Each structure stands twice: as C-alpha cells, then as structure tokens.
C-alpha cells in the first residue's frame, strides 16, 4: 500500500513538472453551480404525497439540482395566500392539479416563464387550469376539465409528420395502464439527442386525445395508443417542448404513479427536460441503463440515498 501511495505521489509530481508555462494553463474547472428547482404540489387527483419524493430524489440524485417543494394549502380560503417566489428558481416543476391559484400568483407565474423561466408539467399537471389562457399556452395541450375542440387541436403523428387535427371531440383520455414504447420524433433536440429512437416505458397511463393551443410546440416523442388497450388508435404526443415568451416549457405526460416514476425512461427524460427548461442546454449524459425497445429499466431513486 505504501508503495502504491508513493507511486501515485510520484505520478503527481511528474505531472506537476510536466505542466506548461502558466500562460498556457487552462483555468481550473469549477464544479457547475447547481440549478434550483421548485416542485409544486398540494392538490392533485393523483397521490402527490407519494410521487413528489420520487420527483425530488430523481432531480437531486442527478447532481444537477437542488430542490425545494411548495405545497399549496388544500383549502380554498388558505390558497389565497399561496404565492411561491418563482423568480428564485431556474425551473418550476408542477405536480399540481387542483384549484385555481390566486390572480396575483397566476400573473407572477406567467411573468416568470414569459421572462425566461423554466417550466415542467408532469402528467396530471396538464389536467389543471382549463380556463387559464397562459397556462394552456405553456403546456401546449391538456386534458379533461371540459377541454374540447374549443381548447385547440389534437396533435398527432400521422403519415410521417406531426398533424394538428381541429376536428370535434373531447380533450383527454387514457386506456388501461400498460408498458409501451416511445418513439422519438425529434432526435436533434437537446433533451432527446442521444436517446434510442424507440425505448420502453414502464406500466403507465398513456394519455390520449390531449388538446390545446399547441402554439410554438415541438413534439419530441410519441407513443401508439392502441385501441386494444382502450386507446385512441393514434400516435399520441407524450414528450413535448413549448416556447412561451422567453421561457422554455417541457411537458411530460408520463408519470401516473410510483411505478411509472421508478422507470429510467421517465427519470432520464425528466432530468434532461428540467435542465433544458432551466438553461436551454442538456449536459446530463444518457446512462448505460437507459432502456431500448426490448425491456424496461427500473430504478428507485429513493433507495441508496446518501446518508
Ligand atoms: Zn394518471
């Protein structure tokens, strides 16, 4: 052991001696400052008490983020004082599907994203706020809450291209939970660059018939919603990006429950989506464990937490 240490020291000394003149030395590489993320929860028709810890751990364990959580009151009167400091964060992640926020909070959130903030909508967050115009522009498409052709088109992959379908019909549905494949439709976007063209996702709700303004919206990945599992028979958009003013929004329709959130496909696309929404770039690598089309990959981000 002593020999080994000595050898390492010698290597270090040799490396020092071999350094070029000071002017040629690159400045020391500092660890990048962590991005600040805020998860919003507190009301949802899904079990946010179970899923927020998974979202939080996934972001923290990526090494890119420090994460705070803003839990809204569940009571309408108390909700009047719900006013997170959005501008303190690089990205706001919504795990919220509930009562309308107060007007001042809605306006502050709109200003935050329009001014260059990042926003990420997870699963049922795209059910929220059917009548809040700016929010629907940020999510691009949404479901339920009375959404219909008045909300905007369906967005589908048909015949090798993305098609906006303005035909009549409800907004928002899903068939039985099952494993399904996602097909990357834009592999050049920073979020999807380097991902396999097709990858499997764990059992989840495959949202279909989402509709909304779909302005400045780019579909990154779709999944085929098979009528055999109660779906629409269409290739439905499940990972999307939307420009809103100077802000960047990432919309993942995945993530119904812990089973879906313990899927590596969900986690990696979430982390990359959050980083892109925060900065416009993605530096997190695609891990070797990322699934292809043969089998899902599962990882519990709450296991092996550093002590
Ligand atoms: Zn769900």
Tell me the per-residue pLDDT of 26-48, one tens digit each, with 9 for 90 and over.
655 555 679 999 999 999 999 99
Question: Which 3-state string (H, E, C) describes 41-107?
Answer: ECCCCCCHHHHHHHHHHHHHHCCCEEEEEEECCCCHHHHCCCCCCHHHCCEEEECCCCCCCCHHHHH
Distance in angstroms (rounded) separating the CA atoms of residues 164 and 26: 50
Q: Determine the average pLDDT of the residues in 253-262.
A: 98
The Å distance, Cα 123 to ligand 1 centre, comes to: 7
Q: What number of residues does the chain have?
A: 307
The Å distance, Cα 46 to ligand 1 centre, comes to: 6
The Å distance, Cα 259 to ligand 1 centre, comes to: 11
Residue 24 has pLDDT above 60, yes or no: no
Q: Which of 270, 261, 271 is nearest to 54 (CA)?
A: 261
Residue 21 has pLDDT above 60, yes or no: no
How many Cβ atoms are within 10 Å of 267's Cβ, its own excluded? 26
Q: CB of 140 within 8 A of CB of 251?
A: yes
Higher pLDDT, 273 or 306: 273
Residue 8 has pLDDT above 60, yes or no: no
Higher pLDDT, 18 or 203: 203
What's the pLDDT at 76? 81
- Reported confidence tier of residue 66, pLDDT bands at 50, 70, 90: very high
The Å distance, Cα 87 to ligand 1 centre, comes to: 29
Q: CB of 186 within 8 A of CB of 269?
A: no
Q: CB of 238 within 8 A of CB of 222?
A: yes
Distance in angstroms (rounded) separating the CA atoms of residues 65 and 47: 23
The Å distance, Cα 197 to ligand 1 centre, comes to: 25
* Percentage of residues of the chain with pLDDT beyond 70: 88
Which residue is it, tokens 């494949």? 181
The Å distance, Cα 290 to ligand 1 centre, comes to: 23
The Å distance, Cα 24 to ligand 1 centre, comes to: 56
What's the pLDDT at 19? 44
Residue 128 has pLDDT above 80, yes or no: yes
Residue 17 has pLDDT above 80, yes or no: no
What's the pLDDT at 77? 84
Alpha-carbon 43 to chain mean position: 19
Q: Determine the average pLDDT of the residues in 228-240.
A: 98
DSSP bridge partners of 142 = 211
DSSP symbol at 230: T
The Å distance, Cα 154 to ligand 1 centre, comes to: 19
| Distance separating the N- and C-terminal Cα atoms of the chain | 28
What kind and span of H or E run contains 9? helix 2-17
Hey, where are the domains in the chain?
34-279
The Å distance, Cα 128 to ligand 1 centre, comes to: 12
Q: Are strands 91-94 and 118-122 parallel, antiparallel or unpaired?
A: parallel
Name which of 12-16, 164-168, 173-177, 235-239 the model is least confident about: 12-16
Mind giving me the DSSP string for 131-196?
Answer: T-HHHHHHHSSB-STT--GGG--EEEEETTEEEEE--S--S-EE---EEEEEEES-TTSTTTTTS-
What's the pLDDT at 105? 98
Q: Which fold has domain 34-279?
A: Rossmann fold (3.40.50)
What's the pLDDT at 9? 30
Distance in angstroms (rounded) separating the CA atoms of residues 187 and 94: 25
Average pLDDT, the chain: 91
pLDDT digits (tens, 9 = 90+) for 71-121: 999 888 889 999 999 999 999 999 999 999 999 999 999 999 999 999 999
């Amino acid at each position: 052991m002593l020999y080994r240490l000595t050898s390492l020291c010698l290597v270090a000394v040799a490396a020092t001696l071999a350094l070029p003149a000071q002017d040629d030395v690159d400045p020391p590489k500092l660890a990048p400052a962590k991005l600040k993320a805020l998860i919003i929860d507190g009301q949802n028709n899904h079990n946010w008490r179970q899923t927020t810890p998974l979202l939080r751990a996934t972001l923290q364990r990526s090494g890119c983020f420090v994460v705070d959580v803003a839990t809204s009151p569940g009571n309408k009167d108390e909700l009047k004082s719900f006013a997170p400091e959005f501008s303190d964060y690089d990205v706001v992640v919504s795990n919220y599907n509930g009562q309308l926020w107060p007007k001042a909070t809605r306006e502050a959130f709109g200003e935050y994203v329009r001014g260059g903030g990042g926003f990420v909508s997870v699963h049922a967050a795209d059910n929220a706020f059917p009548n809040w115009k700016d929010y629907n522009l940020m999510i691009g498409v949404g479901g339920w809450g009375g959404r219909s052709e008045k909300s905007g088109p369906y967005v589908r992959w048909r015949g090798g291209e993305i098609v906006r379908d303005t035909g009549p019909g409800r907004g928002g549905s899903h068939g039985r939970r099952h494993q399904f494949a996602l097909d990357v439709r834009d592999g050049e976007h920073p979020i999807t660059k380097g991902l396999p063209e097709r990858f499997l996702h764990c059992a989840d709700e495959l949202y279909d018939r989402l509709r909304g303004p779909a302005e400045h919206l780019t579909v990154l990945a779709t999944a085929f919603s098979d009528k055999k599992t109660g779906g629409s028979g269409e290739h439905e958009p499940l990972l999307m990006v939307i420009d809103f003013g100077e802000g960047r929004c990432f919309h993942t329709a995945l993530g119904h429950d812990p089973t879906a959130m313990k899927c590596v496909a969900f986690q990696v696309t979430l982390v990359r989506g959050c980083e892109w929404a925060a900065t416009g770039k993605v530096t997190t690598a695609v891990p070797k464990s990322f699934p292809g089309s043969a089998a899902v990959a599962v990882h519990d981000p709450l296991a092996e937490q550093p002590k």
